[in-house]
Amino acid sequence: MADLKTEIAGLKLKTPVMVASGTFGSGGDYADFVDLDEIGAIVTKSVTLKPKTGNPPPRICETPSGMLNTIGLENPGIENFIKEDIKFLKGYKVPVIVNIAGETLDEYIELAAILDKEDRVSGIELNVSCPNVKKGCITFGIDPLATKELVRAVKKSTKKPVITKLTPNVTDITVIAKAAEEAGTDAISLINTVMGMAIDINTRKPKLSMGSGGLSGPAIKPIAIRMVNQVYKAVKVPIIGMGGIMNSSDAIEFILAGASAVAIGTANFIEPSASVEMAKGIKEYLTTHRILAIRDIVGKIIS
């Protein structure tokens, strides 16, 4: 029987299919539609030290083969997150990776230290890639020196696995990936959304309140696969691939490109059980091709 188990940064996952930050909350809104314990891991929406209201509406608009968003990291803050979300997740066994975002280095350090005390938290994902805020996390993801400083500092403040989530909105993503690896990141996830814009031709105004926003969905899949493959060739730490994965075939492409696991984002809005169904599809693929384990095809594209 095909083995779907994989390991990311020391975390043992029953399937390689996770849910991506910002598309699944902390699972509460989806629990009536999908068994959360059948998901490889839940990556929570970004949490900050203090509550954030996010950007003004309109914050989402549909585009050909994708969607633009400029949510702006709206969240209840770490104190409420622990009281509500972590409390809820204690009722499940699924690995929980908490995505954190800050405006300063000290904020990331403090968030990591707080979460280090929470037994229900399996790992921490550093958001250094959100394009929808004016300051803070994105600045750490476009400068390799800033990336290195942040990862190194966070690693000192927690014993939990640290995953660094990269932005595609850079000249050479491998430079940032290498900086994160050198600083000690346990894994890398990529990609976050690609900067984009849409205009209402009748009002002549942008469709999003902030003008531009992050593009997700099938439109960015080829970009994401290319970047995953580039990073796979550049670093030795495991990779979580994401960006426009809508079915198991998409997920397998990412794995062949070098991802040890994948994270599902936009597809969750269409089908809440997308991650579980994709895991089933991957298992069928392995069985059909007589492949014993998912790890046997990681990075195995034929060039």
The string of DSSP letters for 16-66 reads SEEE-TTSSTTSTTTTTTS-GGGSS-EEPPPB-SS-B--PPSP-EEEETTE
* Cα–Cα dist 78/67, whole Å: 28
The predicted structure's pLDDT at residue 155: 98
Nearest to 97 by CA among 186, 30, 170, 174: 186
Q: How far is CA 135 from CA 21, 68, 141, 150, in A?
A: 19, 20, 12, 15
Catalytic: which of 124, 130, 162, 225?
130
Quick check: 35 pLDDT over 70? yes
Residue 242 pLDDT > 60: yes
- Greater pLDDT, 132 or 179: 179
Q: Which residues of 143-163 are buried (b: 16+ CB within 10 A; e: fewer)?
A: bbebbbebbbebbebbebbbb
Quick one: pLDDT at residue 132? Answer: 58
pLDDT at 193 over 90: yes
End-to-end CA distance of the chain: 28
pLDDT in tens, 41-88: 999 999 999 999 999 999 999 999 999 999 999 999 999 999 999 999
- Percentage of the chain exceeding pLDDT 70: 97
The least confident of 103-112, 139-148, 205-214, 230-239 is 139-148
- The pLDDT value given to residue 136: 57
Question: Residue 131 has what pLDDT?
Answer: 63
55, 132 contact by CB (below 8 A): yes
pLDDT score at 240: 98
Top-level CATH class of 6-55+71-194+215-297? alpha beta
99, 137 Cβ separation under 8 angstroms: no
Report the distance separating Cα 260 and Cα 116, nearest Å. Answer: 25
Cα 285 to Cα 288: distance, rounded to the nearest angstrom: 5
| pLDDT single digits (tens) 253-279 | 999 999 999 999 999 999 999 999 999
> Where residue 28 falls among pLDDT bands split at 50, 70, 90?
very high
Q: What is the average per-residue pLDDT within 182-194? A: 97
For residue 140, what pLDDT is reported?
Answer: 87
Q: What is the pLDDT of residues 13-25, one digit of tens each?
A: 999 999 999 999 9
* Residue 61 known to be catalytic: no
How confident is the prediction for the chain on average, in pLDDT? 95
Asked whether the predicted pLDDT for residue 135 surpasses 80, the reply is no
Q: What's at 195, amino acid-wise? A: M
